């Protein structure tokens, strides 16, 4: 196992069987996490990039079996923020909190047409900020329009590379279409974020290894990995869900194989494990997405129960969070935190 970790540290290459061996064996987890932390330091430095997350609509046309926002869930109060409210949250995050990236995330809410979204993108881009969208599957023409309106990045998790599993848990959706969306996002010049869920029922270690190799194959600029947390109002209510450790291992291996990309310490990790995000930041992650959505609507954006969110929506909270980061030897990124490709890989 130690030899495999050394191989990944020096070559950033592992084959599927080697990744499976590391994921299946828990004897050297701490060595793996430490190696990922060192590679993170070498390639992306000690800066942590903060991205302000705005969950602007929980209305969704899809029915993903794991997600509390699925259209068949009648037990949630649906909301949609208007454009002024979204802009003012973004303005607050940039001018009062000094954050350098806004992430707009939602269910697949068709009210936000290409025209409406592009107007919003143009307005937010009058602020001094990078902009990321995480709004699901769109057409090539949509992605191009977002890019031309000034959008910088797009996040779309592949969720799993196991096509049969994907189509079972994302009914009426097609894995090939999702992959095509990622290729379209990349082809229009948006920084491309993807990622996976860890802990879907019947997901194999082999398919998690495929996920990591897929991130490399499509040239991901960002990868978010989260443990599945079962939601009681979904078909996966009784599922076991993912573990923090396995999700952290998938994340650490992703750092070793794609050393210069941006990797968030995900909210689901914090929800499952006390100080989960700090641990993830010491195991390969370099991004945090503090939620700046106001709490009156944020409570309804319940992908899974107990969804924790780094609450930095005040200057005081931000100052104390920075102290925590300094205590683990890190600093806050001062630029927009784009993917800086290393010539060394
Ligand atoms: N609707 C867009 C999409 O699906 O790409 C963006 C928003 S969606 C809520 C963001 C991510 O939440 C999904 O990609 C999925 O991986 C994650 N998610 C949904 N339900 C979850 C659950 N029960 N546990 C952990 N993560 C979950
Ligand atoms: Fe909708 Fe995204 Fe949830 Fe699927 S994961 S139901 S697309 S919000």
Containing structural domain, residue 275 = 14-332
Is 5 part of a structural domain of the chain? no
Q: Provide the pLDDT for residue 181.
A: 98
Pocket of ligand 1 (CB under 6 A): 66-67, 69, 105, 107-108, 134, 136, 156-157, 159, 197, 226, 228-229, 231, 268, 303-304
Compute the distance between CA of residue 166 and CA of residue 108 in angstroms, rounded to an integer. 17
Domain-located, residue 303: yes
User: Is residue 2 situated within a structural domain?
Assistant: no
Is the pLDDT reported for residue 312 higher than 90? Answer: no
Q: Is residue 339 part of a domain?
A: no
Return the CATH number at 232.
3.20.20.70
226 lines ligand 2 (CB under 6 A): no
Ligand 2: which of 64, 78, 112, 268 to mutate, judged by most atoms within 8 Å of the beta carbon? 64
pLDDT tens-digit series, residues 151-197: 999 999 999 999 999 999 999 999 999 999 999 999 999 999 999 99
For residue 204, is pLDDT > 80? yes
The percent of residues in the chain predicted with pLDDT above 70, rounded, is 98
Q: Calculate the alpha carbon distances from 256 to 3, 19, 29, 34, 251 in Å.
A: 14, 11, 13, 11, 9
CA-to-CA dists, residue 311 to 81, 135, 140, 232, angstroms: 19, 22, 35, 24
The reply to whether ligand 2 has any atom less than 6 angstroms from the CB of 68 is no
Q: What is the pLDDT of residues 30-39, one digit of tens each?
A: 999 999 999 9
Query: Within a domain: residue 36?
Result: yes
What is the number of the ligand 1 atom nearest to the C-alpha of 227?
A: 25
Taking the CA of 231 as reference, the closest ligand is 1
Nearest-atom number in ligand 1 for the CA of 268 is 25
Quick check: is 212 in a domain?
A: yes
Please report the atom of ligand 2 found closest to the CA of residue 106.
Answer: 8
Would you say the CB of residue 158 lies under 6 angstroms from ligand 2? no
Name the residue with higher pLDDT: 141 or 294. Answer: 141
Q: How confident is the model at residue 313 (pLDDT cuts 50, 70, 90)?
A: low
Q: Computed from CA positions of residues 22, 28, 29, 33, in that sequence, does the dihedral angle turn out positive or negative?
A: negative
As for how many domains the chain has, the answer is 1
Q: Please give the distance, rounded to the nearest whole angstrom, from the Cα atom of residue 136 to the centre of ligand 1.
A: 10
Residue 23: the pLDDT is 98
3 in any annotated domain: no
In a domain, 119, yes or no: yes
């Amino acid at each position: 196992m130690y030899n495999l970790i050394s191989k990944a540290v020096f070559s950033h290459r592992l084959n599927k069987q080697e990744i499976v061996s590391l994921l299946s064996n828990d004897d050297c987890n701490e060595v793996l996490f430490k190696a990922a932390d060192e590679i993170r330091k070498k390639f992306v430095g000690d800066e942590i990039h903060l991205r302000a997350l705005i969950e602007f609509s929980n209305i969704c046309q899809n029915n993903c079996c794991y997600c509390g926002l699925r259209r068949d869930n009648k037990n949630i109060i649906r909301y949609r923020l208007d454009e002024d409210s979204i802009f003012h949250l973004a303005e607050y995050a940039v001018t009062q909190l000094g954050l350098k990236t806004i992430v707009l995330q939602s269910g697949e809410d068709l009210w936000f047409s290409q025209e409406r979204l592009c107007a919003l993108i143009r307005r937010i881009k009058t602020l001094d900020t990078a902009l990321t969208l995480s709004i699901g599957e769109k057409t090539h023409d949509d992605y191009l329009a977002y890019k031309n309106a000034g959008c910088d990045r797009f996040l779309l998790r592949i969720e799993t590379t196991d096509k049969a599993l994907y189509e079972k848990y994302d009914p009426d959706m097609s894995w090939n279409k999702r992959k095509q969306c990622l290729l379209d996002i990349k082809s229009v010049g948006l920084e491309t974020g993807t990622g996976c869920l860890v802990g879907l029922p019947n997901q194999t270690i082999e398919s998690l290894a495929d996920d990591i190799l897929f991130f490399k194959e499509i040239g991901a600029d960002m990868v978010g990995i989260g443990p599945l947390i079962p939601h009681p109002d979904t078909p996966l209510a009784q599922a076991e869900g993912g573990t923090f450790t396995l999700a952290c291992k998938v994340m650490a291996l992703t750092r070793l194989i794609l050393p210069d990309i941006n990797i968030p310490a995900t909210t689901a990790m914090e929800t499952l494990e006390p100080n989960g995000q700090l641990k993830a930041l010491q195991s390969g992650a370099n991004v945090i997405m503090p939620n700046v959505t106001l709490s009156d609507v944020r409570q309804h954006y319940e992908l899974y129960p107990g969804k924790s969110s780094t609450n930095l929506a005040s200057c005081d909270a931000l100052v104390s969070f920075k102290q925590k980061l300094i205590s683990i030897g890190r600093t806050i990124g001062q630029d927009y935190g784009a993917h800086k490709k290393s010539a060394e890989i």
